[in-house]
Amino acid sequence: MNLKKIIFCIITGLLAVCAFPKINLFFLAWIAFVPLIFVTIRSELKGSFFYGLLSGFVFNAVGLYWLVPMLQFNTGSYVQALVAACILWIYLALYWGIWCLYLNFSQNILRKTLQDNSYSNVILILFSACMWVLLEYIRTYFLTGFPWMLIGYSQFKFTEIIQVAEFTGVYGVSFLIIFCNLCFYFWISMQKGNKYLYTALALIITVSIFGAVRTYKFRFFGDQEFTVAIVQPNIDQDKKWDHFYKDDILFNLKKYASEIAENKPDLVIWPEAVLPGFIPEDKQLYDITKYIVKTTGSFNIIGSPYNENYRQFNAALAFESSGDYKAVHKKNHLVLFGEYIPLKTLLSKFFGVLTQMGDFAKGEDTDIFDNGQIYAGATICSENFFPDISRNFVLSGAKVLTNHTNDAWFFNTAAPHQHFIMNIFRAVENRKAVIVSANSGISGIVEASGVIVEKTSSSQNVLLTGRFLQNDFKTFYTKYGDLFVSACAGLLLALLILFKLRKRIIPKS
């Protein structure tokens, strides 16, 4: 393997990582893939896959470094944690390898098929960006899904660009980034390549202008304003499921309730699994919870483990201001090895913390919580990874979205920041305010425009108060979902058919 090409691949992986939290140099994503594209197009077919795999491994290993301490805490073994993390990094890198393989194969076929190189380059740019989108979509859902660090998420600070998510989801932002990277490559590599530069710049400017208009429209957007209190108790992960600390945890939750009561907000949001036990099974805990809610005098949504018919759920529960229980949402999407263990008899000994908690069952509802004024769709932890869950809540009548999470698993790493920014895209996709309560952070409020109006730091115990607007607006994305991804898949299918029929439609010279 060529050392220069290996260095270029590493550069792409590192530049792409720098676009994400905590570094946040989002503009680097627009040029990060140029070195990898250079290597891919100038390599043999097998080599292109290897270089993509290498670059993807660097990107995921550096960006998802927090998997090691998180898994070590879960398993109690550094070796097990490192092996498991490496397996996941390699799996995620496969998508980069497949994309580079496609890029190399397509450019060879196009140049053999089409005599006009400029025309073949345009097709290559368009269809390679489509392929990246399709691969990201597959990664989001395949094998329970792992959509951390999709390249579009890197643009959470580029508010104008991300407004396209209202129509395309986050995948449209990823498309723009890859499309422009390919344009910049051809601009650099060709003598008369200025047209590619102008195309990329025109696209960025046009989308930014459109985005600025949409951002302005959805700033302070809604029918009615409400006040909210967001609890971030910062309960240590090693204390959360230790019965010895149960009374201390409840004492602190009562203190928060008393402090909240002084301001009398319309809504109180508590993080995932904030209650140290299962309700309604634990009747004493259930009564204390009602007392806490009644003390606040507000509509409350509380994350808690929940028992029903001998099954355990990770749930969010709504309580009236009177303290009366109203409704429950049971988490739809469970985290593999985080909330359930396949082949439990064989593997449970490797996951001590999860074994203490017990396996959770999967819920299926997308029922909204309402008190006659506020209509909330509550996502639990990783449910906000998956755009369909949020949009289904909105289709069910949600006028505001909440996310209840426990990111104490990740300690003070980049992971809570990477998790929080996904809420920005759920806000833009559905044009709904998103209110986030995280046990250890990051908590905050995101407007329908995607602008963060309130935000906490990580690893702090804090009570955040703010205001939000709710609305019943339905976006294109809310109504039709990932139609953009389907269009990308359709274009790729059309290209495949074209290749199959090329001998019939292109005369031999």
Q: Sorting pLDDT into bands at 50, 70 and 90, what band is 34?
A: very high
Are 207 and 236 in a shared domain?
no
pLDDT value at 219 more than 60: yes
Total structural domains within the chain = 2
**109-156: pLDDT as tens digits:** 877 777 667 678 999 999 999 999 999 999 999 988 999 999 999 999
**What average pLDDT does range 74-97 have in this prediction?**
94
Residue 348 domain flag: no
Residues 459 and 487 grouped into a single domain = no
pLDDT computed for residue 354 by the predictor: 47
Q: State the pLDDT at residue 355.
A: 44
**CA torsion, points 430, 302, 405, 276, in degrees to nearest 10?**
-170
Q: Is residue 70 part of a domain?
A: yes
Q: 96: domain range?
A: 3-218+482-505
Which letter, b or e, does each residue of 334-371 get, where b requires 16 or more Cβ atoms within 10 Å of its Cβ? bbebbbbbeeeeeeeebbebbeebeebbebeebbbbbb
* 342: pLDDT strictly greater than 60: no
Whether residues 232 and 322 share a domain: the answer is yes
Beta strands 375-380 and 369-370 are antiparallel
- Could you tell me if 188 and 458 are in contact, meaning their C-beta atoms sit under 8 angstroms apart? no
Examine residue 393 and state whether it is found in any structural domain, yes or no. Answer: yes
Q: pLDDT tens-digit profile of 395-429?
A: 999 999 999 999 998 989 999 999 999 999 999 99
**Greater pLDDT, 239 or 169:** 169
Report the mean per-residue pLDDT for the chain: 92
Residue 96 and residue 143 in one domain: yes
- Please give the pLDDT value at position 503: 54
pLDDT (0 to 100) of residue 76: 84
Q: How confident is the model at residue 278 (pLDDT cuts 50, 70, 90)?
A: very high
Q: What are phi and psi of 311, to 5 degrees?
A: -120, 145
Q: What pLDDT score was predicted for residue 358?
A: 54
Q: How much is the pLDDT for 193?
A: 87
Tokens of 130: 């489509």
pLDDT for residue 469 is more than 80: yes
Alpha carbon 329 to chain centroid distance? 20
Report, as an integer, the average pLDDT of 181-201.
94
Does pLDDT of 344 surpass 90?
Answer: no
Q: Are residues 248 and 163 in the same domain?
A: no
Instruction: Say yes or no to pLDDT of 183 above 90.
Output: yes
201 and 247 in a single domain? The answer is no
Q: Is the pLDDT of residue 353 over 60?
A: no
Contacts 24+ apart (CB under 8 A), 15-21: 16/59, 16/63, 16/151, 16/154, 17/58, 17/59, 17/62, 17/63, 19/151, 19/154, 19/155, 20/63, 20/149, 20/153, 20/154, 20/414, 20/418, 21/414, 21/417, 21/418, 21/421
- Co-location of 365 and 464 in the same domain: yes
The answer to whether residues 331 and 272 belong to one domain is yes
The pTM of the full predicted model, rounded to 2 decimals, is 0.93
Residue 345 is predicted with a pLDDT of 52
Query: What are the structure tokens assigned to 249, written together?
Result: 């945890």
In-domain check, residue 266: yes
